[in-house]
Amino acid sequence: MKRIFIAIKVDAAESLLSMMTSLKSGLANESVKWTRIDNIHITLVFLGDTDEGKISGIRSMLKEVCAGSGKFYLSLKGCGVFRNLNDPRILWTGIDHSDKLAQLNEIIVNGLKKLSIKMEDRPYNPHLTIGRIKDVSDIDLLKSLLDRFENSKIQTVPVNEVILYESTLLQTGPVYQPIEKFDL
């Protein structure tokens, strides 16, 4: 079994790094596990523990559906939390709606369904996870930091490829290793 996911790699520009630095500084006394810069990505589909025998079929499907689907750009905008402000768990940067991203997700999900691959059954909500919140004692501080970046345009991201990653969980944090890259 390999823990895998399909994603778009994001190379953090100065604007994203600056926002993350501000959040880290503001939340320095809180319990947040920050995403390593080299791990920043937009998940298309999380598959989790997958039988290694199924990975070659996933690779073939990705090669087929990604080829010629077309390169595009995404806009990172604002930040927020998942769950809610009373019980924040994930600190994220948002992505402006993109028909191309939604279509890419849909063709990959449909390809996985044809292969009878199990995946999370919830609506696609594209975002960048920038931190995992263990505990926040000052919710008002968190809210003011989020408000500061609420409608800020953070960065434009070129999308040229899709990557099938293996995720290895270590005590120091996850390590993401590309299995294969698929040009769009």
Closest CA to 132 of 64, 46, 56, 30: 30
Q: How many CB atoms lie within 10 A of CB 76?
A: 24
Contact at 8 Å (CB) between 166 and 2?
Answer: yes
Q: 59, 63, 77, 127: which one is catalytic?
A: 127
Q: 9, 41, 92, 154: which one is catalytic?
A: 41
Contact at 8 Å (CB) between 99 and 126?
Answer: no
Provide CB contacts within 8 A for 85, sequence distance 6+: 139, 142, 143, 146
Tokens of 155: 């960065």
Residue 54 to residue 128: CA distance in whole angstroms: 27
Q: Is 97 considered catalytic here?
A: no
Tokens of 151: 């409608």
Residue 164, SS3 per DSSP: strand
Residue 169 to residue 184: CA distance in whole angstroms: 29
Which residues are tagged catalytic?
Answer: 41, 127
